[in-house]
């Protein structure tokens, strides 16, 4: 999972009803602590992969699954987790998701072998798929008017900080104590979140909600899992055709089930009647796929080929969250003035230029090789993140804004998962071969990012100046 939160994460709360908010600070603190679990854990593992590989004797494909075992259930079950909270109680599901995340983190920390670690990572992904949408839904049901916007903005800002701090904190723990400690830091955070949620968060639900789309959730999970497994095998040179065919078949069955359920589906197909929504979905998949591959492979290369410590590799990534966080608010205002299509075209093209610069990363200085590439990539992402939120919310009718933003968030994580599955050969390389493999991956990421900009230019409809569709 990227340490950069997908733009539409913060918009699930947009459609919820709110009222007066007693003890607002405690409610906000509970949701922030809960979501920080997913933000930190999504970013901290990348800097620990070399240590995990050495400790558990894991190969390149094995290390891919340390990341994707988490991303798979998170991507596939995110919408289902939100729907479960609407139906059975948002506080109940928030606390349940946190508890599951805690149990899973303990399993990861104590894992005696790679299969146990992967099982723990998968459970973490399920827990995150439950707690993330319900932390936002709690904000949506607890706050109203301007207070809601301020609460969501604070939630998103703290999430970005958590994503930035994660690699630094995790790298320091890996260097000083060992990789298992990166999972133990979740325990006190989770304990605080549970106590605050049980004491201060009021229960809320939608009594008129439709039955959960269990068939859709299972088919999406199975299809994405088979597809990811097949791509992982292919990237490592070991076949995978059968898994790829199975994945495509399951995803086709998922589409058929969603078509039959109509508006009761976890992914209503009516969303894709909008050409702009199709273009934004494609842009999100490509752009966040490229970014997810970078965030996985760059720390690995810096540690294995550049001699960086885990802490140093985490610090090397700081330009990304800092520049994106600083620039997104200004770009949100620009998009509200001129419309999102131009920023969504130019931003990914700038990102592509950053990836071209990244092909130079090897054994040279951080300031002459790594920093310029990360700075350009960060500037391009800052230009795209906030306009993407605006465009997604403006591409569908008001009835589907929550589902559209949740689906866009799931697509962003799926992009990172697919990119991770394609990096087996790079993760298996060493020395100069690893540097060469990283350069090849950077060229591919540049092409993918450019394609994301082209998708915005050709598919996203122009928006009248001054019309702000999102928050």
Alpha-carbon separation of residue 429 from 174, 240, 272, 436, 454 (angstroms): 22, 20, 40, 9, 32
Quick one: 91 and 191 in the same domain?
yes
Q: What is the reported pLDDT for 209?
A: 63
What the block records as the tokens of 56 is 């558990």
Tens place of pLDDT per residue across the chain (471 aa): 455 666 566 655 554 444 455 688 899 999 999 989 988 887 789 999 999 999 999 988 889 999 999 999 999 999 899 888 888 899 999 999 999 999 999 999 999 999 999 999 999 999 999 999 999 888 888 887 777 777 877 887 787 777 778 888 899 999 999 999 999 999 999 999 999 999 999 998 876 666 889 999 999 999 999 999 999 888 877 778 999 999 999 999 999 999 999 888 889 999 999 999 999 999 999 999 999 999 899 999 999 999 999 999 999 999 998 888 788 778 878 887 888 999 999 999 999 999 999 999 987 789 999 999 999 999 999 899 888 878 888 888 877 777 888 898 899 999 999 999 999 889 989 889 999 999 999 999 999 999 999 999 999 988 655 444 433
Q: Which domain holds residue 176?
A: 1-208
- In sequence order, the 6+-apart residues with CB closer than 8 A to the CB of 4 are 160, 163, 291, 295, 320, 321, 324, 381, 385
286 and 342 within one domain: yes
Task: Output the 3-class SS for the chain.
Answer: CCCCCCHHHHHHHHHCCCCCCCCHHHHHHHHHHHHHHHHHHHHHHHHHHHHHHHHHCCCHHHHHHHHHHHHHHHHHHHHHHHHHHHHHCHHHHHHHHHHHHHHHHHHHHHCCCHHHHHHHHHHHHHHHHHHHHHHHHHHHHHCCHHHHHHHHHHHHHHHHHHHHHHHHHHHHHHHHCCCCHHHHCHHHHHHHHHHHHHHHCCCCCCCCCCCCCHHHHHHHHHHHHHHHHHHHHHHCCCCCHHHHHHHHHHHHHHHHHHHHHHHHCCCCHHHHHCHHHHHHHHHHHHHHHHHHHHHHHHHHHHHHCCCCCHHHHHHHCCHHHHHHHHHHHHHHHHHHHHCCHHHHHHHHHHHHHHHHHHCCCCCCCHHHHHHHHHHHHHHHHHHHHHHHHHHHHHCCCHHHHHHHHHHHHHHHHHHHHHHHHCCHHHHHCCHHHHHHHHHHHHHHHHHHHHHHHHHHHHHCCCCCCCCCCCC
Whether residues 303 and 419 share a domain: the answer is: yes
Shared-domain flag, residues 174 and 241: no
Same domain, 328 and 227: no
Cβ distance 152 to 13 under 8 Å? yes
Q: How far apart are CA 197 and CA 192, in angstroms?
A: 9
Same domain, 467 and 342: yes
**Tokens encoding 415:** 């992009």
Q: How far apart are CA 137 and CA 402, in angstroms?
A: 10
Which pLDDT score, from 0 to 100, does residue 204 have?
87
Q: What is the pLDDT of residue 240?
A: 86
Same domain, 285 and 373: yes
Domain boundary among 198, 230, 265: 265
Whether residues 45 and 161 fall in one domain: yes
Q: How many structural domains comprise the chain?
A: 3
Residue 18 belongs to a domain with what CATH number?
1.20.1250.20
Residues 152 and 61 reside in one and the same domain: yes
Q: In the listed set 167, 182, 208, which residue is the last one of a domain according to the structure?
A: 208
Pair 310, 48: CB distance under 8 Å: yes
Domain end (from 208, 224, 248): 208
Q: Are residues 223 and 183 in the same domain?
A: no
One domain, residues 82 and 113: yes
Same-domain status, 111 and 218 = no
pLDDT for the residue numbered 21: 58
pLDDT of residue 337: 86
Q: What pLDDT score was predicted for residue 12? A: 55
């Amino acid at each position: 999972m990227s340490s950069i939160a997908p733009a539409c994460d913060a918009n699930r709360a947009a459609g919820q009803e709110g009222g007066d908010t007693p003890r607002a600070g405690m409610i906000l603190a509970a949701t922030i602590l809960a979501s920080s679990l997913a933000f930190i854990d999504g970013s901290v593992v990348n800097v620990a992969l070399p240590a995990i590989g050495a400790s558990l004797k894991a190969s390149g494909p094995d290390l891919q699954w340390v990341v994707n075992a988490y991303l798979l259930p998170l991507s596939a079950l995110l919408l289902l987790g939100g729907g479960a909270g609407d139906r059975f109680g948002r506080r109940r599901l928030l606390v349940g998701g946190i508890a599951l995340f805690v149990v899973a983190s303990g399993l990861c920390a104590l894992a005696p072998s790679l299969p146990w670690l992967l099982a723990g990572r998968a459970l973490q992904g399920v827990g995150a798929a439950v707690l993330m949408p319900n932390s936002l839904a709690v904000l949506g049901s607890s706050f109203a008017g301007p207070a809601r916007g301020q609460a969501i903005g604070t939630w998103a800002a703290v999430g970005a900080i958590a994503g930035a701090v994660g690699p630094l904190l995790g790298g320091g723990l890996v260097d000083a104590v060992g990789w298992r400690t990166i999972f133990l830091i979740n325990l006190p955070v989770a304990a605080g979140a549970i106590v605050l949620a049980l004491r201060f968060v009021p229960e809320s639900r939608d009594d008129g909600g439709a039955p959960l789309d269990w068939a859709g959730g299972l088919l999406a999970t199975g299809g994405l899992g088979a597809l990811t497994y097949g791509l992982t095998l292919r990237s490592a040179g070991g076949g995978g055709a059968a898994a790829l065919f199975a994945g495509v078949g399951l995803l086709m069955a998922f589409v058929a089930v969603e078509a039959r359920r109509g508006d009761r589906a976890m992914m209503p197909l009516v969303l894709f009647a909008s050409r702009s929504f199709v273009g934004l979905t494609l842009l999100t998949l490509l752009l966040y796929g490229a970014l997810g591959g970078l965030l996985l492979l760059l720390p690995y290369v810096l540690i294995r080929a550049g001699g960086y410590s885990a802490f140093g590799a985490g610090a090397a990534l700081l330009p990304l969250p800092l520049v994106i966080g600083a620039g997104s608010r200004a770009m949100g205002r620009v998009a509200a003035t001129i419309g999102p299509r131009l920023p969504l075209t130019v931003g990914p093209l700038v990102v592509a230029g950053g990836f071209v610069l990244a092909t130079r990363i090897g054994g040279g200085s951080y300031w002459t090789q790594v920093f310029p590439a990360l700075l350009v990539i960060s500037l391009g992402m800052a230009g795209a993140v906030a306009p993407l939120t605006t465009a997604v919310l403006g591409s569908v009718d008001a009835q589907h804004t929550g589902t559209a933003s949740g689906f866009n968030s799931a697509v962003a994580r799926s992009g990172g998962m697919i990119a991770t599955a394609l990096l087996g050969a790079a993760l298996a390389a060493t020395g100069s071969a690893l540097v060469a493999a990283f350069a090849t991956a950077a060229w591919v990421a540049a092409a993918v990012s450019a394609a994301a900009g082209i998708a915005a230019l050709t598919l996203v409809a122009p928006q009248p100046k001054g019309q702000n569709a999102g928050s």
